[in-house]
Structure 1
Amino acid sequence: MVLARSKFLEEGHYDFMRQFVKDKLVDHNIYTLIDGGCGQGYYTKEFKQVVDTVYGIDLSKEAIRYAAAHDKQSQYFVAGIFDMPFPDHSADCITSIFTPLPHEEVYRVLRENGIWIVVGPGPDHCIELKELMYDRPYKNDWPDTHMDHFECVSQDLISNKAVVEDVWSLLEMTPYRYNSPSSSLDKVKACKSLDTTFEFVVSIWRKI
């Protein structure tokens, strides 16, 4: 799974979202960042270009091993996002990109007025993949605009469309891989390419 995700990400389909988040780090003058649920470090290594100190944490030993081998500038730990190995008020920013949201732990680790950047799927993210797999494809819900102890600074919808040649690796990036019947998986295996919408909601929260 790590190799499949790495292969897909390195094709560049998510680069525009990564650059958008990177620009936000510059805008907010971030110096210490924790990338929670960093996976194989695809985002983490890019953030290090504009942030002095960057940590990546993930529960997958295989993903962390891959990340550390391909990025010697950031520091990586095998750890859970709900119990981060960092002291209170120690980070300027935490990023949560397609991960669960550990509200209490993020609040503990962020400094006063610290920034939490959350990235999730937009309403039409991978809608073509859903149309391929399901008779009644659904759109994703818009994320919350209220969160206790945090102020919503901004929410941006960004999107791009591209032809995906390796549709199975795209499926590996989604929860549909493990929640779909074999008939739907067979449709993906038979698909040679797919014109796909990539759409993300980037929410920026400030600790208050």
Structure 2
Amino acid sequence: MSYSCPLCHAPLTRRENSYICPQRHQFDLAKEGYVNLLPVQHKRSRDPGDSAEMMNARRAFLDAGHYQPLRDAICQQLEQTGAAQLLDIGCGEGYYTHAFAEIVSQTWGLDVSKAAIRAGAKRYPQVNFCVASSQRLPFDDNSMDTVVRIYAPCNPQELARVVRPGGWVFTATPGPRHLMELKGLIYEEVHLHAPHSEQLEGFTLQQYKQVAYRMTLSGLEAVALLQMTPFAWRARPDVWEKLQQQKEFHCQTDFAIHSWQRDA
């Protein structure tokens, strides 16, 4: 299986170091081994996705193993599917993706951030990485056995299009008490995350699993965690300084994993 053209949706054929469609749209492989399938007209900004600074913070935090229980839980689910093709949407620099590739023989990682994809492709050559939009997945209809989506937005109609009947979508989202202590440093009043209410048309929810545990972080790890969050921009300078000076910072995790199966 290969990619489809993001411009005309025809199949892309690999020719040496390029992918070309019958309409002669051409996409070259970067020296790191990934392909950029995000045309300029599909970008919402000049350099979309996470910055290099955010990516490096996330990479250091994840490499320390703080979210490994989440990765292990999803891998356990994958082992039961017998999938041969998997797409990781919003894969970042591939921390989760390379573990999935040890289970599923053909694994693709997709992200809108070129910096993250470049880093992932250099580190994990066993994964097929591409820069692309989750709103326009560059894959054929019914081409994926499994899609994993960890915190990543996606067009649900695209999920229904690319996942074959009987295939799976695994999503990971914040549970009610996720990162409560960190949020308590930023907000005067901390609210629990709302209960998960997503519905995927064309899929049936088969299983829900909660993964929750307390982390003990160094000050620098807590800073890296804050840089990973969508509420980092609300943190005052004194919050960053206070975190960095901590010898230990205790923080709750709370993940919700949903297993959806494509209707026949």
- The TM-score normalised by the length of structure 2 is 0.75
Partner of 1:87: 140
Q: For residue 174 of structure 1, what is the aligned residue in structure 2?
A: 229
Aligned AA (1:142): P
What are structure 2's unaligned runs of at least 5 residues?
Answer: 1-53
1:61 counterpart (114, 119, 128) = 114
- Does residue 17 in structure 1 map to residue 76 in structure 2? no
Aligned to 1:189: 241
Amino acid at match of 2:171: V
How many equivalent pairs are there? 205
Q: Which runs of 4+ in 1 moved over 3 A?
A: none
Q: What is the one-letter code of the residue matched to 1:170?
A: L
Deviation at 1:206, TM superposition (A): 0.9
Alignment of structure 1 residues 1-208 onto 2, 5 Å: 1-144=54-197, 146-165=199-218, 166-178=221-233, 180=234, 182-183=235-236, 185-191=237-243, 192=246, 193-208=248-263
String of CA shifts for 1:169-199, please: whole Å, max 9, x gaps: 1011210113x1x53x521331223101111
Per the alignment, do residues 145 and 153 of structure 1 end up closer, same or farther by CA in structure 2, a change over 3 Å counting?
A: farther
| Corresponding letter in the other structure for 2:213 | N
Q: Secondary structure at the match of 1:41?
A: coil
- Deviation, 1:144, is 1.8
* Paired position in structure 1 for 2:23: none
- Mapped to 1, the partners of 2:150 and 2:61 lie a distance apart of 16
Alpha-carbon distance between aligned partners in 1 of 2:154 and 2:110, rounded to the nearest angstrom: 14
* Structure with higher helix content: 1
Counterparts of 2:73 and 2:206, CA distance in 1:
15
Cα distance in 1 for residues equivalent to 2:152 and 2:197: 15
Over residues 97-140 of structure 1, what are the superposed CA-to-partner deviations in whole Å (9 max), with x where a residue is unaligned?
A: 01113200011000011100000111111011011222101111
Rg larger for: 2
Amino acid at match of 2:133: G
1:72 is displaced (CA, Å) by 1.1
Cα deviation for residue 149 of structure 1 reads 1.4
CA distance in 2, matches of 1:199, 1:101: 22
RMSD of Structure 2 on Structure 1 (CA): 1.2
- TM-superposed CA distance for 1:145, in Å, is 5.9
Q: 2 CA distance for matches of 1:87 and 1:98?
A: 24
Q: Which runs of 5+ in 1 are unaligned?
A: none
Cα shift at 1:147:
3.0
Q: Is the 8 A contact 1:145 1:152 kept in 2?
A: no
CA distance in 1, matches of 2:172, 2:82: 19
Quote the sequence identity (%). 30
Paired residues of 2:141 and 2:162 also in contact (CA < 8 A): yes
Relative contact order (alpha carbons < 8 A, sep ≥ 6): 1 or 2 greater?
A: 1
